[in-house]
Amino acid sequence: MEPPRPIKRSEKAGLPPGSLVYVGRAKAVSGPPRITVIEYGPDHFAEQTLQAVTDLHPLKPTPMVTWINVDGVANPQILKAFGETFSLHPLLLEDILNTDQRPKCEFTETNIYAILKMFEFDTVKQQILTEQVSLVVGENYLITFLEEVGDEFDAIRERLHINHSKFRTSGPDYLAYSLIDTVVDRYFIVLETMGEALDILEAQIESGYDPKLLKRIHRIKREMIFLRKYIWPVREVVTTLQHADTPLLPDVIRPYLRDVYEHTIQVMDTLDTYRDLLAGIQDLYLSIASNRLNEIMKILTIISTIFIPLTFITGVYGMNFLYMPELSWRWGYFTVWLVMLLIAGGMILFVRRKQWL
Amino acid sequence: MEPPRPIKRSEKAGLPPGSLVYVGRAKAVSGPPRITVIEYGPDHFAEQTLQAVTDLHPLKPTPMVTWINVDGVANPQILKAFGETFSLHPLLLEDILNTDQRPKCEFTETNIYAILKMFEFDTVKQQILTEQVSLVVGENYLITFLEEVGDEFDAIRERLHINHSKFRTSGPDYLAYSLIDTVVDRYFIVLETMGEALDILEAQIESGYDPKLLKRIHRIKREMIFLRKYIWPVREVVTTLQHADTPLLPDVIRPYLRDVYEHTIQVMDTLDTYRDLLAGIQDLYLSIASNRLNEIMKILTIISTIFIPLTFITGVYGMNFLYMPELSWRWGYFTVWLVMLLIAGGMILFVRRKQWL
Amino acid sequence: MEPPRPIKRSEKAGLPPGSLVYVGRAKAVSGPPRITVIEYGPDHFAEQTLQAVTDLHPLKPTPMVTWINVDGVANPQILKAFGETFSLHPLLLEDILNTDQRPKCEFTETNIYAILKMFEFDTVKQQILTEQVSLVVGENYLITFLEEVGDEFDAIRERLHINHSKFRTSGPDYLAYSLIDTVVDRYFIVLETMGEALDILEAQIESGYDPKLLKRIHRIKREMIFLRKYIWPVREVVTTLQHADTPLLPDVIRPYLRDVYEHTIQVMDTLDTYRDLLAGIQDLYLSIASNRLNEIMKILTIISTIFIPLTFITGVYGMNFLYMPELSWRWGYFTVWLVMLLIAGGMILFVRRKQWL
Amino acid sequence: MEPPRPIKRSEKAGLPPGSLVYVGRAKAVSGPPRITVIEYGPDHFAEQTLQAVTDLHPLKPTPMVTWINVDGVANPQILKAFGETFSLHPLLLEDILNTDQRPKCEFTETNIYAILKMFEFDTVKQQILTEQVSLVVGENYLITFLEEVGDEFDAIRERLHINHSKFRTSGPDYLAYSLIDTVVDRYFIVLETMGEALDILEAQIESGYDPKLLKRIHRIKREMIFLRKYIWPVREVVTTLQHADTPLLPDVIRPYLRDVYEHTIQVMDTLDTYRDLLAGIQDLYLSIASNRLNEIMKILTIISTIFIPLTFITGVYGMNFLYMPELSWRWGYFTVWLVMLLIAGGMILFVRRKQWL
Amino acid sequence: MEPPRPIKRSEKAGLPPGSLVYVGRAKAVSGPPRITVIEYGPDHFAEQTLQAVTDLHPLKPTPMVTWINVDGVANPQILKAFGETFSLHPLLLEDILNTDQRPKCEFTETNIYAILKMFEFDTVKQQILTEQVSLVVGENYLITFLEEVGDEFDAIRERLHINHSKFRTSGPDYLAYSLIDTVVDRYFIVLETMGEALDILEAQIESGYDPKLLKRIHRIKREMIFLRKYIWPVREVVTTLQHADTPLLPDVIRPYLRDVYEHTIQVMDTLDTYRDLLAGIQDLYLSIASNRLNEIMKILTIISTIFIPLTFITGVYGMNFLYMPELSWRWGYFTVWLVMLLIAGGMILFVRRKQWL
């Protein structure tokens, strides 16, 4: 996974449409791709890992469901092989390779394509990581492409092992739904992390002023902007799937898709709520900073207001004029002290009347 | 009831859809659930409290209306029993258990499901509390689920006692409407509390600067964000009910639902008005704080402008040069005083011309 | 009339729908209600004041038009009597009594109900007052309910005296239109008062800084928020009336309703323009306040920058060290003056270069 | 023309609908109205100026097109005469007289009415002036009403002189289109003036701080608010004309109206862009003002930080205690200088480390 | 190319519609126009450069596709020649010449017209440059107009050389699509440059305060406003093309246009994200500036708070009264030092308690 930052697409500009070029930053980090093929039916379950993409061959018509999962799509060759084996549209393969792709879904006569974004919170770097998930639903197969090798779908793989479960008795549509549901469920986890970060931030700001919190606010705001950019179109994807008129999505799956749809709405609601909360927290921070400046200036002004006139008086009697009658008065010094105390008292009264103390 | 804060859903992520897991914070606080069954008709009224969920059994076809109220849904077992007895959809049971659910309503062939949020103002903690209310309307029954044991619907229970009242002669649709109306009416009470808080806040800000008001503003803003999040979808719920094409909602109930709809519109209007008012109050606060800084700096500048030049003059004649002609002048000291008074007067004039005094 | 503030509705919460309870603040102030009945036709005009609500009786079928005006609706008994005599819907009577009602209009088979808000500017308290106006249009009658006894519709009553005028030859639809037109026309008067207040405010802010203007800005903003809340739905009311498919509104009245509609659009436009203007005025105020702080700090800094170094020099030669060669120099004192003048000059140059003078 | 300010409509409130009262400020300034009648066909052109409104008489059916232009509509009598001669609707005559009218267009069976706003930039008063233009399109005539005597349409009048030109061979629809196009084209000129004002403002703000720019920003913002108010509905007017189903607008004129429509869209786009630019310029101004305050405070703090401790030291050795060992040291004075230089140096280092110098 | 600034259209105001006047700033800079004619089919490719516009002649019906590219449209004569040769609508020619034109597309019976904006980043002037691209699609030809001589479409010209490529076997619709795709792809490059500028800006602001960054923020904001103005309507253009019901766009081209459409959506998303990011960066800058002011004032206040009282004390004992008992005390001087240290310590404690150190 990678932080949600814009990716250089410029190297693609000028190439003919349908050119398969990987656009992303996984190039360096990811190892070789991992291709697993799971074939299952109510009573049947078989899993194998393909050694090379050349082992891929077209599916025979069978009542079994085949799930092919590809971890690591950085290699255009693999996609090309899939494109040829399953006759996928070149423009869509291009979208799968372009990891800066906006979430979308598309229908052809034989397939449904859906591209989504998955998020994870990197607790070490305190940063949100993103990964593109692409699904291709066919009549009796599902192909999934992930940017990097990961364990995001292990829970589903586990559940597939159970004989005669809902998974095993349903078609690739239910599997696809489960994967999308898993992706959307992960949004809640990321949002919870953000919600906790907001709570901590708010508590810190209320407990005392710290200029470092400023950058924290800014960082969270930035992450939210990116989250919003990638989550917002997911709503569209799910609602399109829900209302799609295609035999690949039977009526029995619609309530499930509606459920996912409601989850995405809730994710958006929560994200918007967090945005409002963060805006409120930022206002609070700025107001507290301004309060603090007020406080500082108040102290400065009180000290100055009291002592500057007194210092002036001491200056007067520090002058060296030969003829200064007060200097030789017996009680001159004490009178001056008295005058200074009166002035100080008056100033303190003035300051109190202004409600500064 | 609980404060309207986001709830950890992460423990649900990865579970298969339809898994009944309670998502909420009522677990610890709420006691055992309370199940009351009221059966009524124009001339008949019977109320009983179920000892255990096992006492629940399917309803016989009868002209009577049965209202089953469950206080405390934290227990998945109870919901499962209801699901089996009344054949409710597992995804909807899941929504009822998930107390972070967005208000929604859904229709099946035999039932209407509506999930709403109820609010209460905790005058002790000065905080808004929230509770999820779920309604399941059937042909001759209404099931309601509340998060915790409470007395919110006691007024309606009272009115059900009156023979041949509108309640007793109507079906479960009128009862459902009354409950929704009660929930929406409670919004006005919470809004009134907020309105009063705003009035007090405004009066306090106008009467004098107090940094503590800042946090108060922030708190109210936060509560409003949460209120808005939960009240906004209620509008959708009510309008869906109003225009639903289902035999469970006869035409005679529509004007009533339209009335509830108008109330929710008014709640939203009022909430938006309060948001604008709060924004205005915050602006006022910040401007008053800035005014105050202006005022403080003005005092500091006046004091400094008058006394710093005078102190410089006393400094000059406090120097110890052997040859300083003014020091031996007969009227030197008095001349200096005169000069200083002139300078002070000039400075005061300058300050007055700048309209600082 | 009363200031546009939210009203306590909490006392209504829990009552069955259709309960006639007056919600408003006119209770204490208004005297007994005044019921006037005007019966008119092209050649006929008769006006009478009902002594008691019991004098009210159902209208006979007649080619005459009857206008019944009720000033002061605080009394639920009166409304109940009207409801029974003219068979009006209880939920609508409830809305008429609830003076916090959102402007709306509704159609039944025999009646049109419209609820509007009327505004007036109280020049003494410098506050906007609001009053609810409810209209019930029937086949040959119009009933109007006002919150308090007033003279708002006197101009129309006057014009009704003229034989064979447009009023006298038209039905209750034209009378209703005229009343709505009068209500909307009054909005322009209130807006003009606000426009003038904005002009004065702007002139005051441009002519000099005054912290009191802050509260004035806040007050006007608050009034605008309330105006907007009540005027916005009027647009909806008028457009609904304009496009209503009811025999109570013949086609000949549509161009007039369209005219009113355009007036409400213009009212909204003007209100939005004023909101933008007020926001601009507030920005101006804050910027002028900030300018002023800049100015004050500039003066303080100039004075300090020039005199603090000079005061330091006088301090140096005010020290009492036994061995300080400069003190015994013949031209020491004058040299110090020269140095101080040079420093002062340098500082003034520095300040000028910074464009502070 | 007059500045775009709200106009008192209150004197109209209470009058019956259709009352012809001039609402505007042209009363005092404008002289008597000027009525010119131009009759033209492919080979025919005749222009005459009516001495009095009584010379007006209904048009005979003729293949010629008649353009009647009225400069100065302040006189209700003239409009009344037109209303009677051409049987125009009283409510529309009322709109023409009301110069605060929102731009609109309306269709009757025999006429199209369009009311627009024309703008001009008064380079002397540096203010935008506005004038209402009303068009009445009939089968073979066009009547235009302008608020004041002016030369805005002289270019079109010139082009009408050319025999067999597009103007002379087309009907009143093309003439009406040309006039509307002229009005919209003038918007670009006003926008250009604003664009230039924005450029100058931006350059001035970037070159140096000047508090006067604040009021300039405010003035431009205010003008923009008014421009927007009057230009926005023009879009609606033109799109309504474009899609109107009336024989008065033949299909051949639609591409031209579409062209005008695109121009209004572009005007709105440009106005919105300018609003964003102005908001950016205001932000820049405020930030520069805040920068300046920062700068001023920095200087004050540097001066104070260096000299206040030094002045304290000189104060110490200016004390007159009999027993102060340092005073009689041989190198005391020079040591103090050294100490003071070290402190000053330390302070300068501190200030540099803080990146203030 | 030219910076995206509003262009003087005023010289056009008053001209009859369809007048061909070049509105733009390319007049001075561009040399003579360059007209290249490329004729191609699956097996055929011929390219020629026209010496003069008079060499232009109508196309014969042929299975070949002809692409005529005009670099430099400043000359109205050329456009007039094209208009006559290909019978193009005068209003559209006017739009092509007007380089301030809003992106749009239009359909006639024989042609599709599309006007787009191309952007380039001038790395020398650090400014975005803009150029208008106009396309006219006919049955077997495509005419493109560019404002200036450039190499933007060279990549496509190269690919046209390849025999039997998709280009060579498709009609002018595919060529037009490729050109639009090229234009939209260039938006990504400009956006990347802005994204990098934002990243650098953010890093600079986080690393230290620099008033110059303010103007940089303002400049980027201004560029974004202009980008948005020109890119936003492109979405409309592409969606109109995609859903157009014209034989010039066969069904086979729709998936490609859909792909372009998705790219424009992504461009808008990215631009909006950048706007939010820039707003966040500006907030950060202002907060850091405000932090800095806080910091500066803190130092000033600490120094003043500690030294002003001490200086007052030294002033007291610098007075020259004859009778000042303390002066003759044996430990007076040291006592004063002690008192001063105590006061300084107290002040430091006070400051620490306020969390300023």
What pLDDT digit, counting tens, does each position of B318-343 carry?
Answer: 888 888 888 888 888 888 889 889 99
- Report the b/e string of A53-69 with b at 16+ CB within 10 A: beebeebeeeebbbbbb
Number of alpha helices (DSSP H) and beta strands (DSSP E) in chain E: 10, 7
Spatial distance between the Cα atoms of E263 and A13, rounded to a whole number of angstroms: 12
| pLDDT value for D3 | 58
Cα–Cα separations (whole angstroms), residue D326 to A156, D319, D342, E333: 87, 12, 18, 11
Per-residue pLDDT averaged across C198-213, rounded? 84
DSSP for D74-132, please give it: --HHHHHHHHHHTT--HHHHHHHHBTTPPPEEEE-SS-EEEEEEEEEEETTTTEEEEEE
Q: How deeply is D258 buried, as exposed, middle or buried, from its count of CB atoms within 10 A (0-12, 13-18, 19+)?
A: middle
Per-residue pLDDT averaged across E100-126, rounded? 85
pLDDT range class, residue E29, cuts 50, 70, 90: very low
Range 132-191 of C in CB contact (< 8 A) with B: none
Sheet holding C104-107, edge to edge: C44-50, C34-41, C65-71, C141-146, C127-137, C112-122, C104-107
Q: Find which of C299, C330, C334, C335 to mutate to test the B interface (most B CBs within 10 Å of its CB).
A: C299
Nearest to E318 by CA among E307, E332, E298: E332
Specify the pTM. Answer: 0.83
Range 193-222 of C in CB contact (< 8 A) with D: 195, 206
Residue whose tokens read 């799930």: A67
| pLDDT value for C357 | 64
Sheet holding E104-107, edge to edge: E44-50, E34-41, E65-71, E141-146, E127-137, E112-122, E104-107
Spatial distance between the Cα atoms of D322 and D332, rounded to a whole number of angstroms: 16
pLDDT, averaged across chain D: 84
Spatial distance between the Cα atoms of A153 and A159, rounded to a whole number of angstroms: 10
Cα–Cα separations (whole angstroms), residue E76 to A156, E8, E51: 67, 17, 17
Per-residue pLDDT averaged across E34-46, rounded? 89
Contact B307 A305 (CB under 8 A): no
Spatial distance between the Cα atoms of C77 and C69, rounded to a whole number of angstroms: 16
C323 neighbourhood in chain D, CB within 8 Å: 329-333
| pLDDT value for E176 | 93
Question: How far apart, in Å, do the first and last CA atoms of chain D sit?
Answer: 55
Spatial distance between the Cα atoms of B287 and C215, rounded to a whole number of angstroms: 10
pLDDT tens-digit readout, D104-151: 888 888 899 999 998 887 777 777 888 889 999 998 899 999 887 777
Nearest to B218 among A256, A284, A294 (CB): A284
Distance from CA of A287 to the nearest CA of E (A): 11
Spatial distance between the Cα atoms of E203 and B40, rounded to a whole number of angstroms: 71
C155 neighbourhood in chain D, CB within 8 Å: 14
Nearest to C16 among B159, B189, B191 (CB): B159
Q: How deeply is C91 buried, as exposed, middle or buried, from its count of CB atoms within 10 A (0-12, 13-18, 19+)?
A: middle
SS3 state at C319: coil
pLDDT, averaged across chain E: 84
| pLDDT value for B28 | 44
Which of the two residues, C75 and A306, has the higher pLDDT score? A306
SS3 state at A139: coil
Spatial distance between the Cα atoms of E286 and D166, rounded to a whole number of angstroms: 59
| pLDDT value for B193 | 86
| pLDDT value for B142 | 93
D326 touches C at CB < 8 Å: yes
pLDDT, averaged across chain A: 84
pLDDT range class, residue A179, cuts 50, 70, 90: very high
The answer to whether D36 and D151 have CB atoms below 8 angstroms apart is no
Per-residue pLDDT averaged across E290-302, rounded? 85
Spatial distance between the Cα atoms of B94 and B115, rounded to a whole number of angstroms: 12
Tell me the torsion sign for CA atoms B292, B294, B299, B300. positive
| pLDDT value for B29 | 47
Q: What is the SS3 string spanning B27-83? A: HHHCCCCEEEEEEEECCEEEEEEECCHHHCCCCCCCCCEEEEEEECCCCHHHHHHHH
Upper half-sphere CA count for residue C294 (Cβ side, 13 Å):
22
Phi, psi of D71 (to 5 degrees): -95, 115
| pLDDT value for B26 | 52
Which of the two residues, B137 and C211, has the higher pLDDT score? B137
Contact D301 E300 (CB under 8 A): yes
Region of A149 please: left (phi>0), alpha (psi -120 to 50) or beta: beta
pLDDT range class, residue B175, cuts 50, 70, 90: very high
pLDDT tens-digit readout, B308-317: 889 888 888 8
Range with the poorest average pLDDT among C151-155, D124-128, E7-11, E293-297: E7-11
| pLDDT value for C278 | 92
pLDDT range class, residue A29, cuts 50, 70, 90: very low
Cα–Cα separations (whole angstroms), residue E262 to C19, D69, E141: 56, 51, 26
**What crossing angle do the helices spanning B90-97 and A254-316 adopt, rounded to 10°?**
20
Residue B137 has pLDDT above 90, yes or no: yes
Spatial distance between the Cα atoms of C290 and B349, rounded to a whole number of angstroms: 23
Tally A–E CB contacts below 8 A. 149
Contact C356 D296 (CB under 8 A): yes
| pLDDT value for B286 | 87
The answer to whether C356 and B339 have CB atoms below 8 angstroms apart is no
pLDDT tens-digit readout, D259-301: 899 889 989 988 999 999 999 999 888 888 888 888 888 888 8
Nearest to B300 among A294, A300, A309 (CB): A300
CB count, 10 Å around CB of B331?
Answer: 12
A261 touches E at CB < 8 Å: no
Spatial distance between the Cα atoms of D333 and D324, rounded to a whole number of angstroms: 13
Cα–Cα separations (whole angstroms), residue C17 to B135, B156, C21, C219, D284: 20, 11, 11, 36, 57
| pLDDT value for E85 | 87
| pLDDT value for A113 | 92
> What is the percentage of chain E residues whose pLDDT exceeds 70?
91
pLDDT range class, residue C2, cuts 50, 70, 90: low
Per-residue pLDDT averaged across B116-138, rounded? 85
Q: Which helix (H) or strand (E) holds E275?
A: helix E254-316
pLDDT tens-digit readout, E147-194: 877 777 888 888 888 888 888 888 899 999 999 999 998 898 888 888
Range with the poorest average pLDDT among B313-322, C3-12, D87-96: C3-12
**What crossing angle do the helices spanning A212-243 and A254-316 adopt, rounded to 10°?**
160
D50 touches C at CB < 8 Å: no
The token pair that represents B181 in the structure block: 């109306």
The answer to ipTM > 0.90 is no
Q: How deeply is E164 buried, as exposed, middle or buried, from its count of CB atoms within 10 A (0-12, 13-18, 19+)?
A: exposed
Q: Find which of E7, E8, E10 to mutate to test the D interface (most D CBs within 10 Å of its CB).
A: E10
Per-residue pLDDT averaged across C188-215, rounded? 85
Distance from CA of C342 to the nearest CA of B (A): 15
Residue D28 has pLDDT above 50, yes or no: no
SS3 state at D39: strand
Closest residue, chain D, to C313 (C-alpha): D311
DSSP for B249-306, please give it: S-GGGHHHHHHHHHHHHHHHHHHHHHHHHHHHHHHHHHHHHHHHHHHHHHHHHHHHHH
| pLDDT value for E28 | 44
**Partners for D (CB, 8 Å, 3+ pairs)?**
C, E
Q: How deeply is A341 buried, as exposed, middle or buried, from its count of CB atoms within 10 A (0-12, 13-18, 19+)?
A: exposed
Residue whose tokens read 């006046």: B302
Phi, psi of D67 (to 5 degrees): -115, 115
**What crossing angle do the helices spanning C172-207 and C254-316 adopt, rounded to 10°?**
10
Contact B13 A324 (CB under 8 A): no
The answer to whether E14 and D185 have CB atoms below 8 angstroms apart is yes
| pLDDT value for C113 | 92
pLDDT range class, residue D357, cuts 50, 70, 90: low
Contact A299 E301 (CB under 8 A): yes
pLDDT range class, residue D26, cuts 50, 70, 90: low
pLDDT range class, residue E226, cuts 50, 70, 90: confident
Tell me the torsion sign for CA atoms E205, E208, E211, E216. negative
pLDDT tens-digit readout, E247-285: 888 888 888 898 899 889 989 988 999 999 999 999 888
Residue A151 has pLDDT above 80, yes or no: no
Contact A182 B292 (CB under 8 A): no
The token pair that represents B349 in the structure block: 């004039």
**Partners for C (CB, 8 Å, 3+ pairs)?**
B, D
CB count, 10 Å around CB of B212?
Answer: 8
E275 touches D at CB < 8 Å: no
Spatial distance between the Cα atoms of E244 and E111, rounded to a whole number of angstroms: 12
CA torsion angle for C181, C182, C185, C190 (degrees, to 10)? -140
| pLDDT value for E100 | 76
Residue B46 has pLDDT above 80, yes or no: yes
